[in-house]
């Protein structure tokens, strides 16, 4: 149990980092009601761009900004395929993700990974910082949980404001009922493209943070990202759906869901001593479990209603 407790801060920090990615997926999956698989590629794009630029001497904030811009462009490509080429959203995302594999390799100069040396670079977050704060050799406000937690609050605050504007409400209307939105004069194609771009911009930001935290960017770092995002969204909805009704709190629930997911994963690794090669299987089972819980609850209440009848 001590191994699990010692590893808990790291699990929470990773949960917060991946939670930003999950918030991006929430925009397309829940608000726009579209399945976007671009994220497995754009997550790596964010990490690759950030790693290459920061090792080239760029300021970390500028490198992260360029990473977000790269993610935005990836989302624009998916939106173009979907709206202008008539390709279904899920297939558009797959095509962009496939193309990003080569783009990401090109960004990293055809290398499978790029090291981000915390000893030589001034990073925003790092696993080393977490350990140094625990030892007392680094100030508390540089703890990854504090830094990424504040960044998550900023992201949620900006999104809460944006989706309360006329443009944001039109995006929500597009996702709720596209035909009715078009009848009201809303440019639904523009809203779809904007949603894909905004979502992948946040996904790339998450990738940029993770490459700093782990100390490297590598070509497979985004593989399975969509599964983690869906797990965070579903866990957050199941655990906090009855409590959080406000849109901002729903976004917070996604971040909390990501933390829960990583805490569960850490518990499985630390206490059950399972081989880490089974991580994908464990992830799939966790997602399936939380997907099944609402159905089981509905079936249970339906059975009780029939008995009462």
Return the percentage of the chain with pLDDT > 70, whole number: 98
pLDDT of residue 5: 80
Q: Calculate mean pLDDT across residues 107-122.
A: 92
Res. 277 pLDDT band, cuts 50 70 90 = confident
* Non-local CB neighbours of 203 within 8 Å, separated by 6+ positions: 21, 24, 25, 38, 39, 42, 43, 46, 71, 225
Contact predicate 263/9, CB 8 Å? no
Residues belonging to the chain: 309
Res. 265 pLDDT band, cuts 50 70 90 = confident
Q: Is the predicted pLDDT of residue 307 greater than 70, yes or no? A: no
How many Å apart are CA 90 and CA 177, to the nearest integer?
18
Nearest Cα neighbor of 221 from 4, 14, 43 is: 43
Report pLDDT digits (tens) over 50-74: 999 999 999 999 999 999 999 999 9
Res. 239 pLDDT band, cuts 50 70 90 = confident
The verdict on pTM exceeding 0.85 is yes
Q: Calculate mean pLDDT across residues 245-272.
A: 89
* Non-local CB neighbours of 118 within 8 Å, separated by 6+ positions: 126, 128, 129, 215
Q: What is the DSSP string of 153-189?
A: HHHHHHHHHHTTSHHHHHHHHHHH-HHHHHHTT--HH
How many Å apart are CA 306 and CA 304, to the nearest integer?
5
Phi-psi bin for 256: left (phi > 0), alpha (psi -120 to 50), beta?
alpha
Domains of the chain as residue ranges with CATH = 2-308 (1.10.3470)
């Amino acid at each position: 149990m001590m191994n699990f407790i010692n590893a808990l801060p790291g699990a929470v920090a990773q949960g917060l980092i991946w939670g930003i990615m999950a918030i991006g997926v929430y925009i397309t999956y829940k608000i726009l009601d579209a399945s976007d698989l671009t994220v497995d590629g754009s997550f790596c794009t964010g990490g690759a761009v950030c790693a290459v630029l920061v090792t080239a001497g760029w300021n970390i904030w500028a490198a992260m900004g360029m990473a977000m811009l790269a993610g935005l462009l990836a989302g624009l490509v998916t939106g173009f395929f979907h709206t202008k080429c008539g390709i279904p959203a899920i297939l558009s995302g797959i095509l962009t993700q496939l193309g990003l594999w080569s783009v990401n390799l090109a960004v990293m100069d055809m290398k499978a990974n790029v090291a981000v040396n915390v000893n030589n670079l001034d990073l925003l977050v790092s696993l080393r910082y977490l350990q140094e704060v625990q030892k007392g050799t680094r100030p508390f406000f540089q703890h990854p949980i504090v830094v990424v937690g504040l960044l998550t609050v900023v992201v949620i605050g900006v999104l809460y404001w944006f989706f309360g504007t006329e443009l944001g409400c039109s995006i929500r209307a597009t996702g709720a009922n596209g035909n009715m939105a078009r009848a009201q004069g809303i440019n639904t194609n523009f809203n779809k493209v904007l949603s894909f771009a905004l979502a992948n911009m946040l996904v790339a930001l998450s990738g940029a943070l993770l490459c700093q935290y782990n100390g490297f960017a590598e070509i497979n770092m985004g593989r399975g990202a969509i599964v983690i995002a869906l797990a965070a969204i579903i866990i957050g909805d199941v655990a906090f759906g009855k409590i959080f009704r406000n849109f901002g709190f729903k976004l917070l629930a996604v971040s909390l869901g990501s933390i829960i997911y990583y805490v569960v994963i850490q518990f499985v690794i630390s206490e059950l001593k399972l081989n880490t090669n089974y991580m994908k299987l464990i992830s799939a089972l966790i997602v399936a479990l939380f997907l099944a819980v609402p159905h089981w609850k509905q079936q249970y209440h339906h059975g009780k209603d029939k008995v009462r009848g």
